[in-house]
């Protein structure tokens, strides 16, 4: 029949909801306990059986990859939103604060892929983040508010360095991370017309 939208099968709708619920619970569990969070506990908290968890995510690496991909997609969507709604300088600074928080929280997840199956990573994390940084930095450079000799990979490495230097488990120093990022931003910005 023409003009009628296809009806989604209840089984597909349930499967999609289960997957979304598993991802939401896994994000919280990995935030609380790191990449070694109990998969049994994740399934229990999501209200599904272990079989459902393994149908959607056959390995721990597959679940970690899905969570990391979701977080990176959110981070890059935020870059586009900031670019569309703020000045070049403000958009870059706001996104770098978000990126710093992302890098500090997700070190364990990203590091786990060096141990687990690298093929399980469903998104090229580095490439996607680099593209977002390039867009924001390029706009700031074109508008004359950021150094022209700075490359996107330099900027990403600086922020990752701050994240690594300030994330030491229970000893993590949030205030120091923000201070170091402010110093980084001072080095990125053009003051008084100098490049």
pLDDT at 77 over 80: yes
Percent of the chain surpassing pLDDT 90: 59
| Closest of 68, 78, 73 to residue 31, by C-alpha | 68
pLDDT of 10: 60
Task: Report the mean per-residue pLDDT for the chain.
Answer: 85
Q: Residues 21-48: what's their mean pLDDT?
A: 92
Helix (H) or strand (E) holding 172: none
| Under 8 Å between Cβ of 98 and 75 | yes
Convert the pLDDT of each residue in 92-112 to its tens digit.
Answer: 999 999 999 998 888 766 555
Residue 194: how many other CB atoms lie within 10 Å: 7
pLDDT at 58 over 70: yes
What are residue 146's DSSP bridge partners? 189
Residue bearing the bigger pLDDT, 195 or 156: 156
Convert the pLDDT of each residue in 2-15 to its tens digit.
Answer: 555 555 556 688 88
| Closest of 115, 97, 15, 30 to residue 70, by C-alpha | 30
Convert the pLDDT of each residue in 134-150 to its tens digit.
Answer: 999 999 999 999 999 99
Confidence of residue 40 (pLDDT cuts 50, 70, 90): very high
Q: Which residues contact 164 (CB under 8 A, 6 or more apart)?
A: 103, 107
pLDDT at 195 over 50: no
Q: At 154, phi and psi to the nearest 5?
A: -60, -45
Terminal Cα-to-Cα distance of the chain (whole angstroms): 63
Percent of the chain surpassing pLDDT 70: 81
Residue 55: how many other CB atoms lie within 10 Å: 14
Q: Which residue is it, tokens 């700075």?
A: 150
Query: Distance (Å, rounded) from C-alpha 68 to C-alpha 40?
Result: 19
Query: Distance (Å, rounded) from C-alpha 87 to C-alpha 134?
Result: 16
Residue bearing the bigger pLDDT, 52 or 113: 52
Residue bearing the bigger pLDDT, 111 or 67: 67
pLDDT of 194: 40
């Amino acid at each position: 029949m023409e003009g009628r939208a296809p009806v989604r099968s209840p089984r597909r709708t349930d499967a999609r909801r289960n997957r979304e619920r598993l991802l939401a619970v896994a994000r919280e569990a990995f935030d609380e306990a790191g990449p070694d969070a109990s998969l049994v506990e994740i399934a229990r908290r999501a209200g599904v059986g272990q079989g459902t968890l393994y149908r959607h995510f056959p390995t721990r690496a597959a679940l970690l990859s899905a969570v990391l991909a979701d977080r990176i997609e959110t981070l890059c969507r935020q870059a586009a939103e900031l670019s569309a709604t703020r000045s070049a300088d403000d958009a870059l600074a706001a996104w770098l604060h978000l990126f710093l928080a992302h890098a500090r929280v997700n070190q364990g997840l990203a590091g786990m892929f060096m141990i687990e199956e690298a093929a399980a990573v469903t998104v090229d994390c580095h490439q996607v983040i680099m593209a977002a940084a390039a867009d924001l930095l390029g706009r700031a450079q074109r508008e004359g508010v950021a150094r022209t000799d700075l490359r996107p990979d330099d900027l990403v490495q600086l922020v990752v360095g701050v994240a690594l230097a300030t994330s030491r488990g229970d000893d993590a120093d949030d205030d120091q991370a923000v201070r170091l990022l402010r110093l980084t931003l001072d080095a990125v910005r053009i003051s008084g017309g100098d490049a």
